Every structure is written in C-alpha cells, then in structure tokens.
Structure 1
Amino acid sequence: MKEFLLIIRGGDDESGHRSPEEMQKHMQHWQRWMSGLAEEGKFVGGQPLKSEGKTIVEGGSRVIDRPLAEGKELVGGYLLIHADSLEDATNISKDCPGFEYNCSVEVREISPM
C-alpha cells in the first residue's frame, strides 16, 4: 500500500456557530471514522493543527507570522493514511467528517524517497 496525506482545510468558521452538544457529536463522528480506518489498517496518524504558525523565508533570514490565509483556506489538520491508489485515497476522503463544516480535503500521495 502507498501512503497519502489528507490535508484538511477550512471548517473553523462553521464550528463557531455550533452548540457544545453538536460539537461533541461531530467529534464522535471523527473518532468513529478514524477508528474504522485504523481497524482496516489504513490509518497511520493525524492531528488537528493550531491556527498560530510561522513561515521561514529568504534562506532562513526572515520569519513571517502565519497563517495569513482565509478561514476556508486555513489548514486545520491532516491525516496520513494507507491506500492502494490515489483513487482509493480519494474515495476514503469522501467520508471525512469535516465536510459537515464545509471543509475541503486535498489528497496527496507521499513520494517514496
């Protein structure tokens, strides 16, 4: 199997308008989805990301506060999965719970070194 990175963008704008009960239900959906992937041997890892960050540019001589992207473009988290092909990884990503909050998921194959 190959490894793929699912880059999850956006969704934070929507989550701010949810009740604690709705947020809990959403988190349970994430847990079920990732547990199912783990049971199938497809889940490698993944975490949400904090919104604060830094970008180092100009050969390491300059540091920029990040992120500067709009909420819908902000990378909120990632998953590393195993899949047979890009098509398989894409189909797996279609069940991402983040779509409940209007996220997008970019699927990228990790190139072997």
Structure 2
Amino acid sequence: MSNFLYLFRGGDEAYAKLSQEEKQAHMELWGKWMGGLREKGTLLDGLPLDKDGKVVRNRGEVVTNGPFAEGAEMVGGYLIVSAKDIDEAVEISKGCPIFDYEGAFVEVREILSLEQ
C-alpha cells in the first residue's frame, strides 16, 4: 500500500452561491464520504485550507500575500489516503463531493518516501 495526496481545486465560486441550507447539505456529503473512507481504513488525514496565505521566496527575503492561483486552480483542501496504487487512488477520488461544482477537480499524487 502507498499513500496518496488529494489536492482539491476549484469550486469555491459555485459553493459561495449556495444557500446556507445547500451548503450544510453539501458538507454532510463530505462528512459521509470521508466517514466511509475512514471506516475502510483508507483515509489517513485531511482538512480544508484557509483561502489566505503567504508566499515565501528567496529564503524569506521576499514574503507576499498569496496564493496567486486562479479560482479554479486554488487548493481548497487535501486528504491523504492509502491505496494499493495510483489507479485505485484515482478510483477512490471519483466519489468526492467536490465534483458537484463545475470546474472543480482533484489532483492525485503519490507521496514518496525519502528513504531509499
């Protein structure tokens, strides 16, 4: 088994247009999906990310407000899941509630070990 990082991108504009009741219902879908992954032992970690941040360059000589990605490319959160290979990790990601919003996608990346 390997660990994979899901980076959730986009969907913020569509989500912002929802009513409070629709937002609550959508968050319940996330809870159900993540709870199912947790029960299977697949979900290792994951949280939403704040929309604000800082970008550090040149070993801290330059610190600016950021991130600077377009709305559809903004990373809004992450999960770390365990899967036998990237194909299984991709298959697991297909159930993600982020796909309820146009333009949103999940980037799936294997987490490599620094040990040789």
TM-score grouping bracket, smaller chain normalisation:
over 0.9
Letter in 1 for 2:7: I
Runs of 4+ in 1 over 3 A off after TM superposition: none
Distance 1:48 1:95 in 2: 17
CA RMSD in angstroms comes to: 0.8
Distance 2:85 2:69 in 1: 30
Within the alignment, does 1:14 sit opposite 2:14 as a pair?
A: yes
Match of 1:104?
Answer: 105
Letter in 1 for 2:113: P
Match of 2:51?
Answer: 51
Distance 1:51 1:25 in 2: 21
Matches within 5 A, 1:84-99: 84-99=84-99
Distance 1:3 1:69 in 2: 26
Corresponding pairs, count: 113
Within the alignment, does 1:23 sit opposite 2:35 as a pair?
A: no
Match of 1:73?
Answer: 73
Could you tell me the TM-score, scaled by structure 1's length?
0.96
For structure 1, the 5+ residue unaligned runs are: none
Could you tell me the TM-score, scaled by structure 2's length?
0.94
SS in 2 for 1:50: coil
Distance 2:37 2:59 in 1: 39
Distance 2:100 2:22 in 1: 11
For structure 2, the 5+ residue unaligned runs are: none
Distance 1:51 1:17 in 2: 16
Distance 2:87 2:65 in 1: 35
1:59 to partner: Cα distance: 2.5
Distance 1:64 1:91 in 2: 37
Distance 2:113 2:12 in 1: 32
1:55 to partner: Cα distance: 1.0
